[in-house]
Amino acid sequence: MTSLADTEFVVHSIAQTAVDNEKQFGDLDAVVGDGDFGYSLARGFEIVLADWDEYDRISPSAFLQKVGMVISGRIGGTSGPLWGTAFLRASIAVKGKDEVSGTDAVAMLRSAIDGIKSRGNSDVGDKTLLDALVPMTDALEEEVAAGTDAPGTLHRMAAVARQASDRTAMMQARRGRASYTGERSIGSPDPGAVAVAVILERLSAEWDARVGSSAATQNDAERPSSHTD
């Protein structure tokens, strides 16, 4: 089981990664799209970070719902409705829960995926973020069933998301502005799928650092004092 603090840690990592990678995501989108993906995502998540201390923290669901509402209202283009819907659907999946289990995390992502599919009228194979998000969620479900710890699970999810995002380079876009370019969209990866991979890679690394820091603090606390009077 994970706490609200864990949920906050994950969301903060996602937001900071979106802000820090504005140029990379924008440059990817500019290849066959309108180039606003990085800018839109960064501006929206900047607001999430700026208002961080004001969010309702009575439960993971309430926290995620507020973040989703901010994203939906402040991110422009198609990104706002899609990413906002993802957070709002995830919040519904854990409504009434004080803690989030691995199984709950799977349910949150499945619910987010369904929301994205419905809102964007898209599916796996259309060259969107779903092409990384769905395989990543499948990997999470497998690791939860196997009883893998959080760091190991995140490593696997990040690796799967990266492989899946790389594969989108060989796909033809069927949704969004990139779809207007037809076969010219083949040859470059989908920026949304790449964003999912980058987010998971950063989250995995930060979770490792967090666990390592926590273990070091605990060891220091348990180590006998060498002080003598």
Tokens of 77: 């283009």
Residue 155's pLDDT is what? 97
Residue 183's pLDDT is what? 63
Q: Is 100 helix (H, G, I), strand (E, B) or coil?
A: strand
Residue 186's pLDDT is what? 85
Each of the 229 residues of the chain gets a pLDDT tens digit; together they read 678 899 999 999 999 999 999 999 999 888 877 778 889 889 889 999 999 999 989 999 999 999 999 998 877 677 788 999 999 999 999 999 999 999 999 999 999 999 999 998 899 999 999 999 999 999 999 999 999 999 999 999 999 999 999 999 999 877 665 554 556 668 789 999 999 999 999 999 999 999 887 655 555 555 555 554 4
Distance CA 204, CA 193 (A): 17
Burial 22-52 (b: 16+ CB within 10 A, else e): beebbebbeebbebbbbbbbbbbbbebeeee
pTM: 0.89
Q: Which residues pair with 100 in a beta bridge?
A: 2
Residue 16's pLDDT is what? 97
CB 198 within 8 Å of CB 206: no
- CATH match for 4-207 among 1.10.3210.10, 1.10.287.610, 2.40.50.180, 1.25.40.340: 1.25.40.340
> Computed from CA positions of residues 126, 129, 130, 136, in that sequence, does the dihedral angle turn out positive or negative?
positive
